[in-house]
Structure 1
Amino acid sequence: MEISASSLIFLAGVVGIAWAYSQFRIIAKIPVESNSGNSESQPLTSSGNDAEKTARLQEIYQAIYEGAESFLRAEYIVCFWFISVFSIIVLVLVSWGTGWDAARGVFTALSFLLGAITSMGSGYLGMKVAVFSNVRTTVSAQKPGWTDCFNTAFRAGAVMGFALCALGLLMLYMTMLAFRVHYPEAKQWIYLTECITGYGLGGSVIAMFGRVGGGIYTKAADVGADLVGKVVHGIPEDDPRNPATIADNVGDNVGDVAGMGSDLFGSFAESTCAALVIGSSIGISGGWDAMVFPILVSSVGIFVCLICSFIATHIKTVKREADVEMALKVQLISTTIVMIPTVYYTAMSYLPAKFQLAKTVGTGSLDITPLDATYCVAMGVVGGLIIGLITEYYTSHSYQPVREVANSCKTGAATNMIYGIALGYKSAIIPVLVLALVIYTSFTICDMYGVALAAIGFLSNLATGLTIDVYGPVCDNAGGIAEMAELDPSVREKTDALDAAGNTTAAIGKGFAIGSAALVSLALFGAFVTRIRHASGDKVFADGVNMLEPVTFAFLIVGALNIVMKLQAVLALVFADTFFAVNAGKGLLKMG
C-alpha cells in the first residue's frame, strides 16, 4: 500500500533522528579511561599509570569541550542579535514588496528565523557529538585492530549527518504544512513557497557565520600552534607542553564540524526552497505530493544512507590501514548507485504520468514526466560522485598527484608551494566541466526546475556526505589527544592513519559543498525570475526578466555578493587540496 508524501517525509525524519540517537548511544558506552591491564585489549599503553592517563584524558577532553562551548556561545550570541534585527528587515521588505501583505511578510520572517535556529541547533549538536566522540576514538585506538576506532569515528559522523538531515527536513515540511492552513488552494501555493524561501536564507546566514567565523578561528589556532611549537620551540605537533594545541583541537570542532554542518545545511535548504518556488505551478496540475517531490528525494536519501552505512560498520569492516580509505569511498559509491533506482521509484509513485510546469526562461509551459525528473536528479547524484572521486584522486596519498607534491618538497618550500597551487587549479578542471554538463542537460530536460532537481541530487546523500566529513576532524582530534595524554606512540600512529583518510574525505566534502552551491546559485536565480514574472503578471520580455529595470539590477548586485562568496569557497578548496597534499607528502617523505 502506497503511503502519502507527508507520511513518508515524517517517517524519514523520525527514522533519521532515531538512527542518530542509536549511534550516539553506542559511542556513549565507551568509557573514557586508559586501560592497559585488560587482557582482551592487549594494551598499547605500556608505560605509565593507567589512572594518571585516564585523568589526563578526561582533563584534555574537558578543556576541548569548554573551549568549543565558549566559542559557539559567543558566536551564537552575535548570530542571535543579527537574525533578530535581520528578521525585522525581512518582514518590512517583504511586506512592502507585496503591497503590504502582512501575512506574507510575517510568514517569510518566521521561516527565516526557523531556518537560522535549525542551522544553529544542528551546528551545536554536531560540535557536542564530535567533542564527545574525539576522546572515545582515542580510547578505541588503544585496542588491537582498526575496527573499533574506525567505527567510533564513523558513528560520530553519522550522528551529525542523520540528525542534521532529519531536523532540517522535519522543520521545513512542518513549516510548509503550517503555512498551508493559510494558503489551502493550489493556486495560492506560489505564495506559500515564496514565504518558505526565508528558511533557506536563514540557513545561509548562519552558514556564513559558522563557515567564515569558525574557519578563521580554526586556521588561526592551527597555524598559531604550529608556529609556537614547531618553529619557536622546536617541539612536535600536539606536544602537551604547547598550550595552543587545545585551541587547535577546539578549532577542528567549531570550524570543520559545526561550520561545515551549517554550510551544507544552508545548501540543502536553499536548493529545496528554490525547487519548490520554481515548481510551485506543478501543484495546480499535479497536486501537493507532486509539488513536494524535491523534499521526497531528500527523504528517501535518508533511508538509502542508513542502509548503506551498514557496509562500513558491519559488512566490509575495516581490519587494516589500507581498508580505511576504501571503506569511505564505498560509502559514496554505494549511496550513489542505490539512490538512482530509489529516486525513479519515488518519482513514479508520487508524480503524475504527465504534468505541466511554467517555463522560467521564455513563455509557455513544459510537459514533464516522472522519468524526466528522475534524469535530472540522477545527473546531480552522479555528478556529485564524480566530483568526489576526482577530489579524492588529487588529495589522497594513494595516487600520483600527492606523491609528486611530496617529491617537490625535496627542492624547497618555493617549488612545493608552486607545484601544489598549480595542482590545485588543475584539480578544478574536471569538476567545472561536470557542473557545466549537469547544468546543460538538466536545463534542456526540465528548464530551471531541472537544475534545481540536479542540485537536490547533489545533496540527496547528504547524510553520508556529512558522516564522512565529520569523521576527519574527529580522527584529527583523537590524534591530538593521544599525543597530549602521552599515550603509547602506536596509538598516535593509528589515529594519524585514520586522519590521513579523513583529510582526503574533508576535501571531498568541500567538493560536494561547492558543486551543489554552484547549482543552488543558478536555481535561486531561477526562483527569483519565477517570482518576478508572477509578481509582474508576465509583463516581461519574451525571453525573461528585464535586467534594465532599476530594482532588478540593484538587487542583482546584492545577489552578486553570493557569487563572490562561492568564488572564495572555490579558492578555499584549491588551497585545501594543496595543504592536504603537502601534509600527506610529509608522511611519504618520512616513509622514504
Structure 2
Amino acid sequence: MEGFTPIEANLIWAVLLIALISIGYGFWLWRQVQHKAADEIAAAGATLVSGTQVYLAAGRGMLAVAVLGGAVLMAASALLAAPGAAAVQQFGSTAEAQTWVAIGRAGALLIGAGSVLLIAWLGLGASAQANMALIPAARKGYPQALQVAYRPGSSSGLLTAGLGLLVSTAIVLVYGAVSVDILLSFALGGVLVAIWLAVSSGIGASAADTALFPTDEPGVSGSAGLQHPVTVAGLVQRSASRVAAVAADLFGTMEIALVAALIPGLMLADIASGATGDGLYAFSFVLFPLVLRAIGIVATIIGTLLIRTDERKRNARAAINRGLYIGAALALVAALGISYIIVRRPDAAVFDWRPFCAVFTGVVLALLAIKISEYFTSSSAQPVKLVSRFSAHGAPPAS
C-alpha cells in the first residue's frame, strides 16, 4: 500500500477484516430469527413478511429514478468542474482526474443507496420474523425470548456499521486525498433512501391507523385478524418506521460523521507531512477515524455476546446494560492504545492525550444520553410511575 507505513498498512487490513466480520456476524444474527415460528403462527408470519416485501417494492420505481438522477448529477458535477490539484496529482492528468472522480461520485451514491435498501430489506424481514419467533421462544423461557428480541436490532446495526466501514475504507484506499468527495456522495445515497423510507413509512403508518378504527368489521378478530390486510398493513408500516427508516437514518448519520472526521484528518495529514499542498500526506490522521469505527464494531460484537440472563433474574435491562458498559470500556481501552500508536509524532517525548479525550467525551455523552432516556422510560423510574398513578383515576370529567 503506497504511502502507508507497515503499521498503517496492517491496521487497514485489520479494519477491512473487522468490517467483513461485522457483516458476517450481522447476517448470522439475521439467520437466527428466520424460520423459527411455530406452526400455528407460521401463516401469519408469512403474511407479514410478504407485506414487508410489498412495501419495499411499492416505491422502487420512483426511488430508482431519484437515485439514478442523483448519480447522473454527481457525475456531471465532476465532469463540468475543474478537478483539484490533489486529484490531478493522484491520477496523472486533468482528464483522468475528472473521469475517476465522476465515476467515484456516481458509483458511491449508487452503492450508498443500495446498501441502505439492503439493510432496510434485511431489517424488515428480521423484525417480521422475530415478531413471530418471539412467541415460541417465550414459551421456552425468558432467556430464549431475550435472545430473539435483541437480535434483529443487533443485526441491522452491525450490517450498517460493517457495510459503511467496508465501503469507506475501500474509497480511502482508492482515492486517498480525494476520498472526501466520494464519501460525501456515498453518504448522500444513503440519505436519499433514508428520507424516502422515513416519509413513506410515516404516511403509511398514519393511513393504517386510520383504517384500523372500524374494529367491528366482521372477521377481524383473534388469529384471523393477523391475516386481515388492514392489520398486516399496520404491522408492516410500524416495522418500517421503527426498523427500516431508523437503520437507514443511522447509516446516513454514521457516514456523515465519518466524513466530518476525515475532513480535518486530511487537513492534518497534509500539514503534518511538510509544506501544505505538496501532495504528501501523513495518513495516520485519516486512518484514525476508520480504526475507531472498527474498534467500536469489535466492542459491540463482544457486548452482544454478553447479553445473557436466566429464569431467576429475568432482567433484560440489566443484561443489555452489562453488555453496553463492557463494550464501552473495551472500546475506550482500545482507543487509548490506538491513539498512542498512530496519532502521535515519533519524536514527541510526551503523549498527546487530546484524540483519546475526544473519544472518551463522546462515549461518556452517549452513555449519559442512554441513561437519561432510560430514566424517562423505565417502569421503575418516577416519570413512568407518575403516569401510571395518574392513569389509574381515569379520564378527567368533561367540563
TM-score (norm 2): 0.82
1:474 aligns to what? none
2:241 is matched with which residue?
A: 255
Deviation at 1:411, TM superposition (A): 5.6
Q: Given that residues 124 and 240 in structure 2 are in contact (C-alpha distance below 8 angstroms), is that contact kept between their aligned partners in structure 1?
A: yes
Structure 1 residue aligned with 2:182, among 183, 195, 200?
A: 195
- Once the two structures are superposed, residues 229-269 of structure 1 have per-residue CA deviations (whole angstroms, 9 ceiling, x without a partner) of 3xx67999987447332122212322211111101011001
Of 66, 72, 89, which residue of structure 2 is paired with 1:82?
Answer: 66
Residue of structure 2 in register with 1:16 after alignment: 22
Return 5+ residue gaps in structure 1 as ranges: 34-53, 181-188, 356-367, 416-592
Aligned 1:83-482 pairs, distance under 5 A: 83-98=67-82, 101-143=98-140, 145-180=141-176, 189=177, 191-222=178-209, 224-225=211-212, 227-229=213-215, 240-241=224-225, 243=228, 244-284=230-270, 285=272, 287-313=282-308, 317-319=309-311, 322-353=314-345, 370-410=352-392
SS, match of residue 45 in structure 2: helix
Secondary structure of 1:280's counterpart equals: helix
Conservation of the 8 A alpha-carbon contact between 2:303 and 2:324: no
Aligned-partner residue type, residue 8 of structure 1 = A
What letter is aligned with 1:134?
Answer: N
Matched letter for residue 51 of structure 2: G
Deviation at 1:219, TM superposition (A): 4.2
**TM-fit CA distance, 1:156:** 2.8
Is the alpha carbon distance of 1:236 and 1:73 closer, same or farther for their aligned partners in structure 2, counting shifts above 3 Å? Answer: closer
SS in 1 for 2:266: coil
8 Å contact from structure 1 (residues 111, 195) kept in 2: yes
Encode CA deviations 1:136-180: one digit per residue, 9 max, x unaligned.
Answer: 22221222x201111122223322222221112112211232324
Change in Cα spacing, 1:168 to 1:76, as seen in structure 2 (3 Å) is farther
2-side partners of 1:6 and 1:194: how far apart? 20
> Quick one: distance in 2 between partners of 1:195 and 1:311?
37
1:75-110: CA deviation from partner (whole Å, max 9, x where unpaired):
333222111011222223344454694543432222
Number of residue pairs matched by the alignment: 366
Q: Are 2:11 and 1:5 aligned?
A: yes
Whether the 8 Å contact between 1:5 and 1:289 is mirrored in structure 2 is: no
Indicate how the Cα distance of structure 1 residues 237 and 389 shifts in structure 2: closer, same or farther if over 3 A, else same.
Answer: farther
In structure 2, what is the Cα distance between the partners aligned to 1:258 and 1:239?
26
Q: Following superposition of structure 1 onto structure 2, how do residues 20-99 of structure 1 map, counting pairs within 5 Å?
A: 20-28=26-34, 31-33=36-38, 54=39, 56-98=40-82
Match for 2:232: what amino acid? I
How far apart are the structure 2 equivalents of 1:105 and 1:5? 29
Within 2, Cα distance between the matches of 1:237 and 1:223? 17
The one-character-per-residue Cα deviations of 1:204-241 (angstroms, maximum 9, x if unpaired) are 1111112222233234424543x233xx6799998744
Aligned to 1:32, the other structure's residue is in SS state coil
**In structure 2, what is the Cα distance between the partners aligned to 1:223 and 1:336?**
43
Sequence identity (%): 20
| Distance change in 2, residues 1:369/1:199 (3 Å) | farther
- AA aligned to 2:122 is L
8 A contact 1:146–1:320 mirrored in 2? no
Q: Secondary structure at the match of 2:306?
A: helix
Which letter maps to 2:390? Answer: S
AA at the equivalent of 1:303: V
Alignment check: 8 A CA contact 2:26 2:158 kept = yes
CA distance in 2, matches of 1:320, 1:215: 40
Larger displacement relative to structure 2 (271-280 or 344-353)? 344-353
- 1:197/1:274 contact within 8 Å kept: no
Q: Distance in 1 between matches of 2:378 and 2:220?
A: 24
> Using a 3 Å threshold, how does the CA distance of structure 1 residues 245 and 268 change in structure 2: closer, same or farther?
same
> Relative to 1, partners in 2 of residues 1:228 and 1:327: Cα closer, same or farther, differing over 3 Å?
farther
How large is the RMSD of aligned CA atoms in angstroms? 3.0
Change (3 A) 1:176 1:289: same
Matched residue of 2:148: which SS? helix
Residues 256 and 208 of structure 1: is their aligned pair in 2 closer, same or farther, counting only changes over 3 Å?
Answer: same
Cα 1:279–1:354 change in 2 (3 A) is farther
Provide the C-alpha distance between the structure 2 equivalents of 1:345 and 1:25, rounded to a whole number of angstroms: 35
> How far does residue 16 in structure 1 lie from its aligned partner after superposition?
1.1
CA separation in 2, counterparts of 1:374 and 1:334? 18
* 2-structure distance, mates of 1:258, 1:112: 19
Compared CA separation, residues 239 and 261, structure 1 to 2 (3 A): same
1:389 shift after superposition: 1.0
Cα distance in 1 for residues equivalent to 2:284 and 2:303? 27
Report the secondary structure of 2:37's partner residue: coil
Quote the Cα distance in structure 2 between the aligned partners of 1:394 and 1:129: 28
In structure 1, give the amino acid aligned to 2:76.
V
Cα pair 1:215 1:259 within 8 Å, conserved? no
Q: Distance in 1 between matches of 2:169 and 2:37?
A: 39
Question: Aligned partners of 1:386, 1:321: CA distance in 2, in Å?
Answer: 25
* Gap change, CA 1:395 and 1:194, over 3 Å in 2: same
